[in-house]
Each structure stands twice: as C-alpha cells, then as structure tokens.
A and B are shown apart, each in its own frame.
Chain A
Amino acid sequence: MPSSCSANGARDLAVSHSSVFVTTFLAAAVEVIEMVIIVVGVGSVRGWRSTWLGAGGGLAVLAVLVLAFGAALTAVPIGALRLVVGSLLLVFGLQWLRKGIGRVGANGLRGMGERPAPGEGVPGHGVDWTAFVLSFKGVLLEGLEVAFIVVSFGLAAQALPSAALGAAAALVVIAGAGLLARGVVQRVPRSALQLLVGTLLSSFGTFWAVEGLGVAWPGSDAAILVLVGWYLLAAAGYVGVLRRRAHRLVAQEAGR
C-alpha cells in the first residue's frame, strides 16, 4: 500500500512539473516572440552589430536583476516600465512608419529581393545607439515579463526549476526561429522593411503604453494583432493616397 501511494505521489508530481513546464513554455513564448520580432526588425533595418550589443546588454541587466532580486522580482514596478518603454517605442515607431510610408509611396516596392543598402543615419563605425536602445529596451522589458512568469508560475506550483526550463526552452525555440527568419527578412527592400518594423514598434509601443497606464485591452495580448492590422491598414491607405498623387503629378508633367 505505501509503495502504491508513493507511486501515485511521484506520478502527480511529474504531471504537475510537466504541466508547469508546458504552461510556462507557452506563456513565455508569447513574450519571447515579441522580443525576437523587435530584435530581428531593428537588426534588419539598422544593422546587426549594435542590435546584438543592445540585446546582450538587455540580457545582462536582466540577469543581474534576476540574481539580485530573485523571487522578489515581482516588486519591480512593471506598469511604470511598460509606460516608459511603450511610449518611447510608440514615438520612435511612428517616425519609422511615417518615413516608410513616404518612401514606399514615392518609390513603391523597388528593390524587392536585393540586399538592402546600409540604413540612412546609421554610423559607419562605432555603436549605433538607436539600434542599441531599441533592442536593449525590447529585450529587457520582455525578459522581465518572462522572469515574472517563471517566478509566479514556479512559486505557485512549487516547481521553479520546471518553470525556468519551460521559459528557457521557449527562448531557444523562438530565438532559433528568429535567426532562421533573418535571411528572409533581409531580402525585403529597406523602405518596406522600415514601414513594417515601424508598424510593429508602434503596435507594441501602443499596447505597452496603454497597459502601463492601467487600462485593460479587450482580448488581452491578442489586441497586439489587432493593433498590427490597424497600423498596416492605415499605412496601406496612406501609401495608396501618396501613390495616386505621385501618378497624377507624373501625368501632369507628361501633359505639359
């Protein structure tokens, strides 16, 4: 009888650990996808060296925070952090969105399939601080959210190692997929890429800034997809207006 009880207990424990692993993997994957989108997008537009430096810096600060605070990490004011990071991403994302719309409106999708030239305003040597800051903030904020998930799920289920393993697995799988996607993303023309990354930064920025104010989004994290659709739709509308105006000007010039 005691051996049957201990077998049941061990099975329950294994089930509990595997369910914590799966739950943490899925929850962390959502955050890691956001992190990887920002890093791949910024790296493709501004260059990789400073983007990797920013991502590495974000991970290093995150590691220090996790080691210093441990389970007390949940005391970090994530709402204020979301508001600050979200507002900055939104403001910067809208600048890229605007430039991307202007360039696609003026030139269309010329250069599709060619390797993009180095971006405008990207320093030829030294650190590109724009790429560094964008990548750093994206990695730090999303990394902190992953750490919160690990701590809260792990402590609630008393299975911290399984929760940490689940999050680590999500990071490896999604970051690997991001690295594979890098080659494809780099073949998109710079103007279209700037428009696309501007859309993504504006969407994440809007989501985090509003969440940071304490306002709940309908549909929770799924609202990010709606925001991406909203900004893409608006961008397509503006590009259409600019293309029509450009064609009209060309026709007028030809008519003279």
Chain B
Amino acid sequence: MTMILRWLTGFGRFWYGFIIGDDWTVAATVAMALVVTWLLHTAAVAAWWLPPLAAVAVVGVSLRRAGW
C-alpha cells in the first residue's frame, strides 16, 4: 500500500513539475490561449496567431516575475 502511494505521489509530482514547473501562469496562459483559439475557430475566425503571441507574452511576464 505504501509503495503504491509512494509511486502515485511520485507520478503526480512528475506531471506537476512537467506541466506547471516553477510558474503556473505559463501553463494557465497556454491553456487559456488554446481555449480562446478553439472558440474563435468555431466562430469561423482564423486564430492561429493567438497561441504564439500569448506564449511569447507569458514568457516575458514570467521572466519579470522570477526577477530575471
């Protein structure tokens, strides 16, 4: 039981680090940008430009938040 629990904790920690890392705003912005892109796409608006723009913007914000 303890081994399964340890494995599950390790598994969860790995995916948390992989997706969230040390700044949750990056993953949240990417998720939000993809949702908005999909909504615009369903409204017949070409929105391929949105995720790359949002990605570059959030990297800048994240660098600033980290004090770099």
A215 touching B46, Cβ below 8 Å = yes
* Given A209-B51, A216-B48, residue A91 in contact with residue B27 (CB < 8 A): yes
What is the predominant secondary structure among interface residues of chain B facing chain A? helix
Task: Collect the chain A residues with CB atoms within 8 Å of residue B47's CB.
Answer: 215
- Closest chain-A Cβ to B67's Cβ sits at a distance in Å of 9
B26 touching A98, Cβ below 8 Å = yes
Q: For chain B residues 7-53, which have a beta carbon within 8 Å of chain A?
A: 14, 17-19, 21-23, 26-27, 30-31, 34, 37-38, 41, 46-48, 51-52
B11, closest chain A residue (CB): A129
The number of chain B residues with a CB under 8 A from chain A is 29
The number of chain A residues with a CB under 8 A from chain B is 34
What total count of A-B pairs have CB within 8 Å? Answer: 87
A227 touching B26, Cβ below 8 Å = no
Given A95-B26, A130-B14, A210-B34, 14 further pairs, Cβ under 8 A: A90-B30, A90-B55, A91-B27, A91-B30, A92-B18, A92-B21, A95-B21, A95-B22, A97-B59, A98-B63, A101-B63, A130-B17, A210-B48, A231-B52
Q: List 15 A-B contacts (CB under 8 A).
A: A83-B34, A88-B19, A90-B55, A91-B26, A97-B59, A98-B59, A101-B68, A129-B14, A133-B18, A206-B51, A206-B52, A215-B37, A230-B52, A231-B52, A238-B59
